[in-house]
Amino acid sequence: MKFLWKYLRRYSWILVLNFVGIAGFIIAELGIPSIVAQIVDKGIRNQDVAVMKTMLVYLVIIAICGGIGRVILSFCGARMSSYVVRDIRNDIFKKTQTYSPREYNQFGVSSMITRTNPDAYMLMQFTNMLMRTGLLTPVMIVASFFMVIKTSQNLAMVIIGSLPIIIFSIYLIAKASGPLSRKQQKEMDNLNRITRENITGVRVIRAFRKNKYEENRFSNTSEDYTNVAKKLFKLMAIGQPLFFFILNSAGLFIYWLGANLIDAGSLQVGQLMAFGEYMFHALFSLMLFSNMFMMYPRAKVSADRIEEMLNVQVAIENPLQPIYEGKEDTTLVFDQVSFQYPDGELPVLQNISFEAHKGQTIAFIGSTGSGKSTLINLIPRFYDVSAGNIKVDGVDVRKYDLKTLRQKIGFIPQKALLFSGTIKENIKYGKHDASEAEVVASSKVANAYEFIQDKPQQFEDCIAESGTNVSGGQRQRLSIARAVVRKPEIYIFDDSFSALDFKTDAEVRKNLMRETEDAITLIVAQRVSSIMNADQIIVLNNGTIVGKGTHRELLHSCEIYQEIAKSQLSEKELQL
């Protein structure tokens, strides 16, 4: 498995140490029967006390080597499996940080969680087994068969005759377990998806009284997973009883044949005793190796799923020769921009052109599905344009270093997302080295300072997961403060004032006007009152620009804008 080997070779010292442990273990397991045979055949039979004492000393030394070998094997197995699964999970997380929305849609969040946890855990188990038995058993099998043939070629034929049955059984079980493993992991994806939907959508489920429906849905999926798991475990359980049946049958025949050989004088009692141990180690090692071989298809399924995530071609990549500096001072230009989603049938945006300069506020308004949010998502390269180009400071965004480009942008999404931690940590997420004064100042601009002061621990007060312990308006204000603290060149507000009341909305916009004097401000809004004072308002409909101008100009020139404004404002507010 090339994928796993890539991680194992990072810790070559553990592999070397593991082989030292293997050597100590094999010397003990095969050396002790040989010494016991010497004690029986030469010491006890000939009543030679000196031989017995010498052999006992060897026996103690070899037993100590075996004990050390076992400890080393356990240590190496635990250490290597822990390191490997840690590295795999770190690589998965690092890779997902480069994903565009296309890759998230391709895999799905639930499947990504399954691949990061259960699949990685399966590889940890496989690595542990590989270190403790996978590398040990082939050496033990070869060494045991060598001792078996050396001790008695006649008895060795019995063991050799049983090998085809064991190998064929292992092959059949391994072949059948692969498809079941893939199906099992797929059902695990479904379980994670339903669980996630129920946790995030618990209010909707309760509001529509769908608790019983969701219980049945989860129960049915869980039953499907259980049925696949039962088939897989039954299949895996066949191997061990079959092996012991073959081992015991071979053992009975060997001792019967050995007794005849002893009676004929061609075999000694100690040799038969040692042969029994060699046979056990040879076949038992074969069984352990077969267990690993049967586990291999399951581990390979997990490895393939993880490797698929790590090797996927990311849609949004850093250019080979990225640009780190702009050519102009704070400008944004859309030049005949069109965009179509990879799996979409029709363009979402068509021939969008406009310019924005330092100190200007550009607003976007239109009906649901008109392309407003899609348009602003093109600026930080969450998606790439299908045609045309977007320039920030005179440079095409596709030529920028991604980190440099996004550092220029303060993005406030429609759905304000907060992270578990303190209020201060959430604000400093926009600028990790922000001073205390900067944090306080940004909270005041976002009109969040007052409610933060009312908290028991103020800026050190904890935010629950997803910000569930603060209101929607408070989440939006903290999200705004997080963007303000980094003082970007371009502010993007994607309907970021929707949860604010009119008074708070007006106060926040007033504060932002002073704060964004040296920046470009882009606002996506549903409320006309939020964008009336914008330098330019762009009206979108079905992905095209149908109006462009100030509030007053559009009231006279754009029918769609007139309809939106009249549905929200009074005659006096319309300023007609």
pLDDT per residue over 204-231, tens digit each?
A: 777 777 778 878 888 888 888 888 888 8
| Residue 323: band (very low, low, confident or very high) from pLDDT cuts 50, 70, 90 | confident
Residues 7 and 154 in one domain: yes
Rounded to the nearest 5 degrees, what angle is found at the Cα of 296, between the Cα atoms of 295 and 299?
A: 90
Structural domain ending residue among the three candidates 442, 466, 487? 487
CATH number of the domain to which 467 belongs: 3.40.50.300
Closest among 37, 11, 30, 529 to 272, alpha carbons compared: 37
- The reply to whether 202 and 59 lie within a common domain is yes
What is the distance between the alpha carbons of residues 327 and 330, in angstroms, rounded to a whole number? 9
Does some domain include residue 400?
no
Q: Is there a single domain that holds both residue 12 and residue 122? A: yes
Token duo for residue 166 = 């064991």
Structure tokens at 205: 């489920």
> Residue 187 above 60 pLDDT?
yes
Confidence tier at 571 by pLDDT (50, 70, 90): low
Q: Residue 87: inside a domain, yes or no?
A: yes
Query: Is residue 264 pLDDT above 80, yes or no?
Result: no
Quick check: 520 and 490 in contact, CB under 8 A? yes
pLDDT of the residue at 573: 62
- Do the bridges between strand 421-422 and strand 462-463 make them parallel or antiparallel, or are there none, so unpaired? antiparallel
Say if residue 288 is in the same domain as residue 175: yes
**Do 418 and 467 touch, CB atoms closer than 8 A?**
yes
Domain boundary among 256, 283, 311: 311
Q: Give the integer Cα–Cα distance in Å for 98 and 264.
A: 75
Q: Do 307 and 421 sit in the same domain of this protein?
A: no
Q: What is the CATH number of the domain that holds 26?
A: 1.20.1560.10
Most confident of 146-155, 189-198, 406-415: 406-415
Q: What are phi and psi of 490, to 5 degrees?
A: -130, 125
- Residue 369 confidence class, pLDDT cut points 50, 70, 90: confident
41 vs 137, more confident: 137
Best CA proximity match to 360, nearest among 399, 331, 326, 396: 331
Residues 306 and 429 in one domain: no
Domain count, the chain: 2
Tell me the pTM: 0.74
Shared domain check, 135 and 8: yes
Does the pLDDT at position 235 exceed 80? no
Closest CA to 315 of 469, 99, 50, 513: 99
How many other C-beta atoms lie within 10 A of the C-beta of residue 553? 14
Within this chain, do residues 415 and 282 fall inside the same structural domain, yes or no? no
Looking at residues 153-167, what average pLDDT do you find? 74
Q: What is the DSSP letter of 71?
A: H
> What pLDDT, on a 0 to 100 scale, did the predictor assign at position 210?
75
Q: Do 28 and 155 fall into the same domain?
A: yes
> Quick check: is 361 in a domain?
no
- Among 258, 278, 311, the domain boundary falls at 311
Domain ranges, residue 462: 410-487
Residue 547: is its pLDDT beyond 60? yes
User: Domain for residue 535, yes or no?
Assistant: no
Question: Which pLDDT tens digit goes with each residue over 43-74?
Answer: 666 676 777 777 788 888 888 888 898 898 88
Q: What is the 3-state secondary structure (H, E, C) of 453-468?
A: HCCCCHHHCEECHHHC
Instruction: Encode pLDDT of 99-119 as tens digits.
Output: 888 888 888 877 888 888 888
Q: Quick check: 576 pLDDT over 60?
A: no
Q: Which of 108, 118, 100, 145 is nearest to 342 (CA)?
A: 100
Q: Which residues make Cβ contacts (< 8 Å) with residue 255, sequence separation at least 6?
A: 272, 276
CA distance 232 to 177: 6
Specify the 3-state DSSP secondary structure of 319: coil
Cβ contacts of 320 within 8 Å, gap of 6 or more = none
Average pLDDT of span 428-447: 86
Residues 298 and 447 in one domain: no
CA distance 164 to 246: 11
CA atoms within 13 A on the CB side of 100: 18
198 HSE (CA, 13 A, CB side): 17
Q: What is the C-alpha separation between 491 and 470, in angstroms, rounded? A: 24
Work out the pLDDT band at 199, boundaries 50, 70, 90.
Answer: confident
Task: Please state, in angstroms and as integers, the Cα–Cα distance from residue 177 to each residue in 166, 171, 298, 333, following that order.
Answer: 17, 10, 7, 57
